[in-house]
Structure 1
Amino acid sequence: MRGLARAPWFWMSAGLVLAFLAAMILPWLLSEAPGLFFSPGTPRRTQAPGYGTALYEELTQPEVYWLNQPAGRASSTGQGWSKGAYRIPWTTAPPPEAGLPLPQAGRLYRPWLRPVLPPAYIFPRLGSGGGPAPDERESPAFTDINPPGFPGLRLAPFVLFPLPPELSLSSLLATLPSPAPASEPPAGVPPGSTGWSTSHRDEEMQGGEAGDESMPAGNEGARRSTRRWQIPRPALTPVFGFIRRAARYSPLPPGEVRGLHASSNQAGSARMTSIVRTAEQVGLNAVVVEIKDEFGRLAYQSRVPLAREIGAGTDRIPDVRAFLADLHERGFYVIARMVTFQDGKLAEGRPELAIRRRSGGIWRNSQGLAWVDPGLGEVWRYEVDIAEEALQLGFDEVQFDYVRFPTDGNISDVVSVVPASQRVTAIAAFLDYAKERLAPYGRPVSADVFGFVATAEDDLGIGQHLEEVARSMDFVSPMVYPSHYPKGSYGFADPDAEPYGVIRHALGVAASRIGTEKLRPWLQSFSLRHVYGPEEIAAQLRAVHETGISSWLFWNASGRYNLLEGLPPL
């Protein structure tokens, strides 16, 4: 016996057996433990983080599975909106919705060993009601595998053991209701993409209608399919399951924001010293810092699960909180600017989320950069997860740039789940979602738009319509750079040589449409076709002030703002 106890293989085998048993039993214990302390069906009152002292009922097992993310992994899916926590009648704050796992590990758990069945069947939807019905493409993720009245079948703890015939996997799967037959997505869109649905209706046809090629004559009783894009409904829950206390931040300066831009590379280098010095010398009170660039790379190492999965983080700003603390001590209002839908990191890391080519594969613009599809709920969730993290780190505002569809490259080859006729709806719905998600932080949310959006009556084919963007955003920043207008714009033969006239006209039209309070234009602090100096800078500022706008931002891609250094304090 002593010899056996000394044998290494004995202890190794015993350890493996114990580890296997623990892996099998622990998930069951975690799911059943709440019943040892709380009577079934008795809600436990808890404070909902981020909603003051509002109290909400917290669901007990097994319904807690319903609140979990159906895809069974840490990255966001955009499908966790099925049901939120119940609201106690005497509260007025909105209840937090279901989304990423909440931080009660003993109540919301995932088995450590990946089960044989798909994750969608490990977290079945129990009961009925309590949330909007998912569309046809999302319904399989919420399929109930339990008979009516059955308290809940937990497969995870024992799926690796031999099952008796009545509980075999084939018999269990045979009891699953067959999902409605799904038609193919639009050409070039992978089957795994979300954001579109197909509705069917049966019609008794007395022969084909004139001009209806989809319903040929003789197909009496045929089934007509209509493909349409639906607005995604991703979860409103904070990215880490709760709203953490954010670092110190500066409130919005009363009446005006006057600032300049720093890229993520510049913010993490010695160039930032020059940018801050110029801002202080001229009397600016704001700095716009790029936290996500046109490649999808972040300025810091993110804690957002999907950002870590695709490797989006960098060390350009090693300590974001210290970086912000320094700017705040100097009296600056700091805006986090993020390139939104031009996101090569996400598109290449998760190709099913990318804008596609008609022939398949990832579409790229003329610079070889990939875009993600603005119509997908998981894309929305990821982008706003990053925005929320920026507010948690202490940024004073989030600014969405590239919140549109592509404009350069082979646009005719673009395949999106969003029809061209619904692009305005898609962009406006994303901004609505972002504003609602970020509302608990009580800080402004803004968006950049093309300069022509200020005067265009339509969306220019990119989904940006001024009134729709301004409806949900606190501020809108038209990029009214005179150098970016083609010859003949607004009646000017050479718009770049007419900074006052171009900006005065563009902002005048925009102000007549949405007022001046939300307008915060981007101005030109660089030379392109014409050499700009203090005179051209002053002409732009005069046009802004004459329009009645008191806030503005200067842009220079290289971070060299020497054109501003000759100006008197603004």
Structure 2
Amino acid sequence: MMFLSSLPFENLLDFCDSFVIGDELLMDKIRRRRTMYRKKRHPFRWILLVVVCIVLVFVGYSVAGPVMNFFKNITSSEPSSSVGDVSSEAPASSQTPVSSQPSASSAASSEPSKTQVTGTKAVWLPLDTLTGKDLDSFIALAKETGVNAVVVDIKLEDGTLTYASNLEAPKTAGAVADDAPDLMAALTDLKDAGIQPIGRMVCFKDPIAKLAIRAGAIQYKPNPQLTWLDASKANGGKSWLNPYSDVAAQYLIDIASEAVDMGFEQIMLEGVQFPDKGGSTAYYGKEAETISREEALSTFVEKMQDALQAKGAEMILSCPGNVAAGETSSIYGDGNPLTFGAKTAAVNCMPGELGKDITISGETFDDPSNQVAEVVEAVADAAEANAGSSTTLWGWVQAYDMSDSQVEEQVDALTSSGIQSVIYYNPDGSYSKDQLDLS
């Protein structure tokens, strides 16, 4: 029977015919009539075919199960083609190499859904990245991860400018180093790659501008002929520019305008505030007797914004998350920076910079660094409510001392609150592909 079952079906009829042919020879020997032979031939042949088919069905059914199990075991023992998980404990600054890509079907089933940033996706970069050999590597990473903007500091807290300025006042103040780089070539490379450069400048915290524009600095109340310091000179006290001063405002506007001429398309203002210490002896001039601090800051923001718009550029006002969420502070005139009139504002929602035991909209967070999603969402929701519809909000994302999943939680919390533009920040300027790929 096993022999019959191994024959192809088309040969079975020939096999059966051999029996019939043998039968015909036998019939010839005993000289039976041909018609009688034919009458007996057909029943025998069809009966034999039925028997053979029954045997084949039985044998096939018997071996089908073991054969299927055999192939199933082979299939299940093959290694998975999906990419292994990347450890979430890897430091944020580590650059993760691009791994081989899985097939489209396995990628679709194994990769989690990603939060999509529909607005600006920016990263902060140190100046040496723009002026060194790392610029090409960054541009490649940006193209691969969808980064479309970069924030670069152009004016620091110590008053210095990071680029080769041609402005007379900063040069007189010693704010321009002799070896300051020309950023125009780097900015051109960024824009050619579809990456928008944003220049960030610290405004009123400036200890050296007084050397060129003394009238623009805060004066010492007991003797207005002297420049006020935020601490004693022995304790490292520094002078500040006066938010009420038109001279100080013009100094800052000139720097921002020069940056636009150099190639920056957006200017981000940091430190639009009054001094955070030693204010009791500060003298701001007669204007301070009739104009509130909040009004003074709002006036400056309006002047800067108008000046940049006239040059086809945009102004972004950066502010702390706790204040944007409603916490009052005298350095902002007990007002909210989101109400200063900026059309675009970047809220610092980074958990590590919010401090501990902060209260947002009546909810207290003991340790924001361990309550990432909750605190970022609370700050973003409150900031959106305080800003109103006239101001577009961006969110700073902490990309250091955070796992990849915590970075993703921040972005997800911001986008869930309606903030669709983000700025990743790592003080050493290193970002991994996995980190930036999360949005």
Q: Could you say which TM-score interval applies, normalised by the shorter chain?
A: 0.5 to 0.7
Question: How has the CA–CA distance of structure 1 residues 369 and 560 changed in structure 2, closer, same or farther, with 3 Å as cutoff?
Answer: farther
Query: Superposition pairs for residues 515-526 of structure 1, below 5 Å?
Result: 515=388, 518-526=392-400
Q: Which of 276, 279, 290 is the matching residue for 1:411?
A: 279
Residue 306 of structure 1, aligned match among 169, 194, 203 = 169
Tell me, in whole angstroms, the C-alpha distance in 2 between the residues paired with 1:357 and 1:482.
Answer: 37
The separation in 2 between residues aligned to 1:356 and 1:272, in whole angstroms, is 43
AA matched with 1:432? E
Q: Secondary structure at the match of 2:303?
A: helix
Aligned to 1:468: 339
Work out which of the residue numbers 322, 344, 348 in structure 2 matches 1:479.
348
Matches within 5 A, 1:312-323: 312-314=175-177, 318-323=181-186
> 1:376 — aligned with what?
245
Give CA-to-partner distance per residue, 1:262-307, whole Å, 9 cap, x none. Answer: 2335533456556545434432111011111111111222222222
AA aligned to 2:131 is G
Q: Cα–Cα, structure 1 residues 459 and 362, in superposed 2: closer, same or farther, change >3 Å?
A: closer
What is residue 121 of structure 2 aligned with on the other side? 258
Deviations 1:228-254 (A, max 9, x none): xxxxxxxxxxxxxxxxxxxxxxxxxx9
SS of the residue 1:483 aligns to: helix
Would the alpha carbon gap of residues 329 and 567 (structure 1) be closer, same or farther in structure 2, given more than 3 Å must change?
Answer: closer
Matching residue of 2:110:
none
Question: Could you tell me which of 355, 359, 369 is aligned with 1:496?
Answer: 369
Distance in 1, matches of 2:347 and 2:436, equals 23
Deviations along 1:88-107, one digit per CA (max 9) or x if unpaired, are xxxxxxxxxxxxxxxxxxxx
CA contact 1:271–1:559 (8 Å) conserved in 2 = no
Distance 2:267 2:304 in 1: 10
CA offsets, 1:58-81, max 9 Å, x none?
xxxxxxxxxxxxxxxxxxxxxxxx
Which residue is equivalent to 1:127?
none
Instruction: State TM-score, norm by structure 2.
Output: 0.64
**How far is 1:368 from its partner?**
4.3
Q: Quick one: distance in 2 between partners of 1:522 and 1:568?
A: 16
8 A Cα contact 1:275 1:559, kept in partner: no
> Are the aligned partners of 1:397 and 1:444 in contact in 2 as well (CA < 8 Å)?
yes
TM alignment of 1:1-150, pairs within 5 A? none
CA deviations on 1:356-413 (whole Å, 9 max, x unpaired) are 3445443136864431111111111110011111111121111111111122x43334
Q: 1:362 to 1:256 in 2, by over 3 A?
A: same
Distance apart, 1:449 and its partner CA: 1.0
Matched residue count: 309
Partner of residue 363, structure 1: 229
- Asked whether the 8 Å contact 1:406–1:462 carries over to 2, the reply is no
Where 1:461 maps in the other structure, the secondary structure is helix
Q: Which deviations, in whole Å up to 9, do the C-alpha atoms of 1:507-546 show, x marking residues without a partner? A: 101112324761011121222xxxx110110110110111
Q: Deviations over 1:476-518 (max 9, x none)?
A: 0111221122322131111121121111011101112324761
> Per the alignment, do residues 260 and 568 of structure 1 end up closer, same or farther by CA in structure 2, a change over 3 Å counting?
closer
Q: Normalising to structure 1: TM-score of the pair?
A: 0.50
Q: Relative to 1, partners in 2 of residues 1:452 and 1:569: Cα closer, same or farther, differing over 3 Å? A: closer
SS in 1 for 2:346: strand
Aligned equivalents of 1:568, 1:263: Cα separation in 2: 21
Q: Distance in 1 between matches of 2:404 and 2:413?
A: 14
Provide the secondary structure at the position in 2 that maps to 1:456: coil
Q: Which has the larger radius of gyration?
A: 2
The aligned residue for residue 7 of structure 2 is none
Contact 2:149 2:197 in 1 (8 A): yes
- Judged with a 3 Å threshold, the aligned counterparts in structure 2 of structure 1 residues 261 and 317 are, in CA distance, closer, same or farther, namely farther
Corresponding residue for 1:443? 313
Matched AA of 2:392: K
Picking from 419, 431, 434, the partner of 1:549 is 419
State the distance in 2 between where 1:317 and 1:286 align: 23
The 8 Å contact of residues 398 and 445 in structure 1, kept in 2 or not, is answered as yes
CA distance in 1, matches of 2:327, 2:435: 38
SS at match of 1:364: coil
Q: Read off the aligned partner of 2:282 and give its amino acid letter.
A: V
Would the aligned equivalents of 2:130 and 2:183 in 1 still touch at CA under 8 Å? no
Once the two structures are aligned, what percentage of the paired residues are identical? 25
Alignment gaps of 5+ in structure 2: 1-116
Partner of 1:394: 263
| RMSD (Å) for aligned C-alpha atoms | 2.6
CA contact under 8 A between 1:281 and 1:565: conserved in structure 2?
no
Give the whole-Å Cα distance in 2 for the aligned partners of 1:400 and 1:429. 14
The change in CA–CA distance for 1:321 and 1:539 in structure 2 (over 3 A counts) is same
**Shift in alpha-carbon separation, 1:414–1:536, aligned structure 2, 3 A:** farther
Alpha-carbon contact 2:172-2:211 (below 8 Å) kept: no
Amino acid at match of 2:384: A
Which of 283, 288, 297 is residue 427 of structure 1 equivalent to?
Answer: 297
Quote the Cα distance in structure 1 between the aligned partners of 2:209 and 2:423.
29
> Which structure is higher in helix share?
2
